[in-house]
Amino acid sequence: MPVERVQKILARAGLASRREAEEWIREGRVTVNGQVVSLGAKADPEKDSIKVDGRRVKLAQRLRYILLYKPPGVVTTSEDPEGRTTVVDLVKARVSERVFPVGRLDYHSEGLLLLTNHGELAYRLGHPRYGVLREYLVKVKGVPDESDVSKLLKGAVIEGKRVVPKAVELVRTTPKAVNSWWRVVVGEGKTHEVREFFKRVEHPVQRLIRVAIGPLRDERLKPGLFRDLTPEEVQSLYQAVGLAAQEEASHGRTPSARLHSKTRGVRAGKTHRGGTAGAGGEGHRQARFQRKPPGHVT
């Protein structure tokens, strides 16, 4: 296995995103052969002893790519200090690998979310340089007019940076035009960006559903349920971020890693589509989180 930067090893191994791994290194939590390393240090993950917080990184053999429908009222983190349900809680009983969520989907929002232990892929999916788009269906109060849409398309300054949506399109209005549904496509990952767009034209968001992450879509996936990506879907993600399949193949059997411990998990059951079942049961059976498709919401 070739020598490479330590933060990239930790990210590709699935322990954290590359940004998180870099932060660990800055904090002095990472050692190679007993020596604390700095950013830019390189190592051979097969020959060198790489440790995080004194725990050795042990190479594993399986990468996981989980597509979850996050219900509203669930936190998009691995842990929550307030004790709220997290997206990892929804999958951990049936996924033995340590996976983490890619990107943001706020507490009140719902829809598709990717969880993986492939840190390099997660890093690229979240970086605006790679241009991976997210698509949302958004229900807002009232019906924005042409002037409002013009303002929406100009974007807004969020977290100190102007964020501009790639597309804003009316899907339909509800009876008597009380509310309306919109299709919004964005390429950034700023907190509450879609909600902020509509708030600034005085049409607050009432419901927000992520329906696509780059090439990933699944209209049949129900709230609280999840499945493994197909090989074709994984390949499409690699292509979307310029990550060659040959890069993974050159390292042997789909390598991932974990900190050596005795943590165990339970493999998820198979669905009729080759995926996995989530908190609500097997296949795509309705979970305890219910929803109606946007076309039937008033």
Q: Which residues are catalytic?
A: 106
Cβ contact 43:4 at 8 Å: yes
Helix (H) or strand (E) holding 58: strand 55-60
Helix (H) or strand (E) holding 51: strand 50-52
DSSP conformation class of 288? S
Query: 133 is written with which tokens?
Result: 């788009």
What is the longest distance spanned by two Cα atoms in the chain? 69
Return d(Cα 62, Cα 191) in angstroms, integer: 31
Return d(Cα 298, Cα 294) in angstroms, integer: 8
Letter string b/e over residues 257-292, b meaning 16 or more CB atoms within 10 A of that residue's CB: bbbeeeeeeeebeebeeebbbbbbeebbeebebebe
Cβ contact 222:285 at 8 Å: yes
200 burial type by CB count under 10 A (0-12 exposed, 13-18 middle, 19+ buried): middle
CA angle 90–96–98, rounded 5-degree value: 75
Cβ contact 50:56 at 8 Å: yes
Cβ contact 9:56 at 8 Å: no
What sign for the dihedral angle of Cα 26, 29, 30, 33?
positive
Length of the chain: 298
Cβ contact 29:37 at 8 Å: no
